[in-house]
Amino acid sequence: MLFGLGIPADAPIPPHFFGYSPMEPYTYDPEKAKKLLAEAGYPNGFKIVLLHSIGGSGYVQDKQQAEAIQAYLSRIGIQVELKTGDWPYYIASLLKPTDQLEWDAALVGVGPPVAEAYFTLNSQFTCDQIPPKGINIARYCNSQVDQLIGEAARELNETRRLELYRKAIEIIWRDTPWIFLYTQKQFFAASSSLEAIFVYPSGLQIYFQYAYFK
């Protein structure tokens, strides 16, 4: 579906970020999912609304991804209504106060400007970033994760900081506020004679102030 532009996710951050620590990938087991639903009191599944953008900022095949998720969840009895919107509507819907949300799940991606774990973990998985204060889309809040991320932000020793990030990632992966799907490869085309292009770590911005033709 992504034409080779997706790398299966095994952490909340991509492999090229400082602080990356791979986890055991979630397994695909529809029968186990049905069993867990029944144990939770939903033997016949339930209905949810999935919010997604269309033609989103840098999202590849976002509509097609939402439709695929809809199809996968239908196999275990979860009926998914897709709530589709353009980028302004989508962002506004994501960041509404929790008691005003019109969706149950959302297809989202994060592209921080710095390739360091803090910029994703802090914005998406700390209590004080829950909207409308921040952009913690899943409204996830775990005081232990907050403490680890805060300590990592103040820690100057890189080895120690990596260990703090690893512990935070382990908890986030276990708690599963997101179902982490993939890291998206960004792409652009340029003349082979153009040198010194600077691509921002998020992959969404390209700078040409030092570029030249050889």
pLDDT at 134: 94
The CA radius of gyration of the chain, in Å to the nearest whole number, is 19
pLDDT at position 205 is: 79
> Using CA atoms, how far apart are residues 171 and 169, in angstroms rounded to an integer?
5
User: Does residue 11 fall inside a structural domain?
Assistant: yes
Residue 140 within a domain: no
By C-alpha distance, which of 172, 175, 141 is closest to 13? 172
Single pTM value for the model: 0.88
DSSP output for 39-71: HTT-TT--EEEEEEESS-SS-TTHHHHHHHHHH
CATH number at residue 96: 3.10.105.10
Question: What pLDDT score was predicted for residue 202?
Answer: 65
Helix (H, G, I), strand (E, B) or coil at 164: helix
Q: Does 170 reside within a domain?
A: no
Is 155 within a domain?
no
Q: Which residues contact 204 (CB under 8 A, 6 or more apart)?
A: 57, 58, 111, 186
Domain assignment of residue 39, yes or no:
yes
**Mean pLDDT over each residue of the chain, to the nearest integer:** 92
Q: Residue 72 falls within a domain, yes or no?
A: yes
pLDDT digits (tens, 9 = 90+) for 173-212: 999 999 999 998 877 788 889 999 888 766 667 888 889 9
Q: Which residues, 6+ apart, have CB-to-CB distance to 4 below 8 Å?
A: 185
Q: What is the pLDDT of residues 43-56, one digit of tens each?
A: 999 999 999 998 76
Mind listing the pLDDT tens digit for each residue in 149-172? 999 999 999 999 999 999 999 999
Boundaries of domain holding 73: 6-116+176-213
63 Rama sector, left if φ>0, alpha if ψ -120 to 50, beta otherwise = alpha
User: What was the pLDDT predicted at 155?
Assistant: 97
